[in-house]
Structure 1
Amino acid sequence: MMYVDLRSLTQPVGIMRIIATILTCVCFSLVATVGHISSSYWAWCMFTWCFCFFFSLLILILEFTTVSSKLPFAWEDFTAAFAILASLMCLATSIIYPTFFTCSACPHQIGASVVSWVCFGVYTGEVTLTWLHQCGQNTGFLSTVPGIMKLLETFFACLIFTSLEKSQYFSSPGLQWCVAVYSFCFILAIIIILLTTGQLTSFFPFSFDTLVIFYNILAAAMYMTAMVVWPLYSLGTQTRPSNCGHHCAWDKLVVVTFMTILNFIVYTLDTAYSIHLVIDATVTSTQ
């Protein structure tokens, strides 16, 4: 028998989700009225607003119908992770869209940009409320520091893929290596997230935490090579071309370079924190 929970819509987090659902719908509606633009950044912005709208609405429906309590995974961990991811995606979109697609005589684009910033604020507020609610409680993987770092790693990789163009790396083995690094680390990070949130790590015949540490070390080392190789082979010593327009391919190379550096830092911090957790667990078990 299905019940409904009105409290899920009237509590502060529920109200913020309703506002976020409305605002993200406004964003992609405003942009859709302008028309399609052949740009990976435009596609990223539209995907962000549609993605956030769909999952915010889905979360509201599942909590209102109490179906969320019957799902085979930690629901609060999922919603907290979604709020973090949505705030990151909206932050990136709120920077990208007005930078590349807004002008002083573009009311729809200006409106979408402003509403996108409000969306970022709403999702950040949801993250804050969720953190205050879960403070002192046992949380799932995605709400922990290693889980948040995994979300950051996949998020930065998505921005890298959005900025990549095949013509930029197709004829260069060095740049192809960098793309292979981005793809390999992204796929394994997603697998780790799925295995951990799905509580499948206990089926491994060896320590999954140790495996994750080895992966983090490998990923950090691979990103370190990409951090050197990508700007060396893509940018070299050249500066921004004088005839580079508003959607300049050179800017995308810089974005990939910057995101590579950020992901290297995150993987390094993830490695150090994972080792710290394992050492603490070992010391605790021996006492």
Structure 2
Amino acid sequence: MTSIPATVTNTTFTKSIIPGLDSLIIVASPRALIRPLGLLRLLQLASTCAAFSLVIYVGAWMGPMGSWCLFSWCFSFAMTLIVLAVEMAGLQRSLPLSWREFPITCACYAVLFCLSSSIIYPITYVRFMSYGYIRKCAVCAIIFSCISCVAYATEVTWTHSRPGDITGYMASKTGMLKVFESFVACIIFLFLNSPHLYTQEPVLQWCLSVYIICFILTMVVILLYLGKCTKILLIPLTTFLTGMTFLCVLLYTTAIVLWPLYKFSEGFHGVPNREMDSSCNYKHAHSVCVWDRQVAVAFLTGVNLVAYAADFMYTS
């Protein structure tokens, strides 16, 4: 009996998760692009590409705020492109990364990046522009940024709703809080890009150190999970996570007291009213005045304190 050789032209491994969503593990198949998650990622690529392309085309991204928004769209586009390329080529097992954690981490960061750009860009940039062709392009970029934010949020929601035996750490509440905490720290650094905001007093330098230390600790946790390196710790992982979040709560508690005290109290050479800050008396495009920056840092410090407190309660 003569055997007939079989030819395998396409191989796809999928796992049904919820109606309308297939597993993220799709190996070397162009059909990955026509599945719900693939189509969603194509929308993410198209919207972020349109946003940064319009801004670059008309040159409407000068200054720290405009640069941040441009970086946000480019970063989100690049991460989505990497995820799609890896899945199309079937390289998930070849990378020194946990593919269960990497796509959801990228999606979580992209949601926050695109959301921040959708808010920061019109407030600090577009509203200062004169009506015309450039402003129309900038408004279109904002619309595409909002679309991409919704698309990334949809991916995060889909991934988070998967059964617990499939969902990785970064799709859990504590994992998403880690992403949020590190992102808020990045926004704080954005508003503290001028050294004179924290070099006046040693206490303010301490606040900056708090933001840096907590950011590094949080990123260490994220990288441990992405690199599948949690076993290298000399202490139990739960103990490390609990101790780290508790330390961050303590550090941020000092910052939430000291930063407003030294920035807004006249007894500590602070500026209590916005009208007293000369940099806020004029409308400057592409920038935020000093007093507004200080308020933003104080507010974001409180936001991160709440996030770390919630993280500690979930972890312990």
Q: Give % identity.
A: 36
Q: Work out whether residues 60 and 138 of structure 2, in 8 Å CA contact, stay in contact via their aligned partners in 1.
A: no
Residue 75 of structure 1 aligns to a residue in which SS? coil
Q: Within 5 Å, which residues of 2 pair with 1:132-281?
A: 132=161, 134-164=162-192, 165-236=194-265, 238-241=272-275, 243-246=281-284, 247=287, 248-275=289-316
1:40-189 pair list within 5 angstroms: 40-103=64-127, 105=131, 106-132=135-161, 134-164=162-192, 165-189=194-218
> C-alpha separation between the residues in 2 aligned to 1:228 and 1:37?
35
State the AA in 1 paired with 2:298: T
Report SS of the residue matched to 2:274. Answer: coil
TM-score, length-scaled by structure 2: 0.81
Deviation string 1:130-165 (CA, Å, 9 cap, x unpaired) is 234x23433222111221111111010000001102
User: Aligned partners of 1:127, 1:204: CA distance in 2, in Å?
Assistant: 29
Deviation at 1:244, TM superposition (A): 4.4
Q: Would the aligned equivalents of 2:170 and 2:176 in 1 still touch at CA under 8 Å?
A: yes
Distance in 2, Cα, partners of 1:146 & 1:43:
30
Seen in structure 2, the aligned counterparts of structure 1 residues 131 and 212 have a Cα distance that, compared at 3 Å, is closer
Greater mean alpha carbon deviation, residues 247-256 or residues 198-207: 198-207
Tell me the CA shift for residue 38 of structure 1. 4.3
Q: Structure 2: 5+ residue runs without aligned partners?
A: 1-9, 12-27, 266-270
- What is the RMSD of the two structures over their aligned residues, measured on CA atoms? 2.0
Q: Which amino acid aligns with 1:180?
A: S
Contact 1:156 1:259 in 2 (8 A): yes
How many residues were matched structurally?
274
Q: Say which one has the larger Rg.
A: 2
| Structure (1 or 2) with the greater helix fraction | 1
Distance, in Å, in 2 between the alignment partners of 1:138 and 1:116 is: 30
**Distance between the aligned counterparts of 1:91 and 1:235, measured in 2?**
29
Task: Give structure 1 stretches of 5+ with no counterpart.
Answer: 276-287
State the one-letter code of the partner of 2:190: T
Secondary structure of the equivalent of 1:53? Answer: helix
Paired position in structure 2 for 1:284 = none
Deviation at 1:34, TM superposition (A): 2.6
Q: Does the C-alpha gap of structure 1 residues 183 and 254 become closer, same or farther in structure 2, counting only changes over 3 Å?
A: same
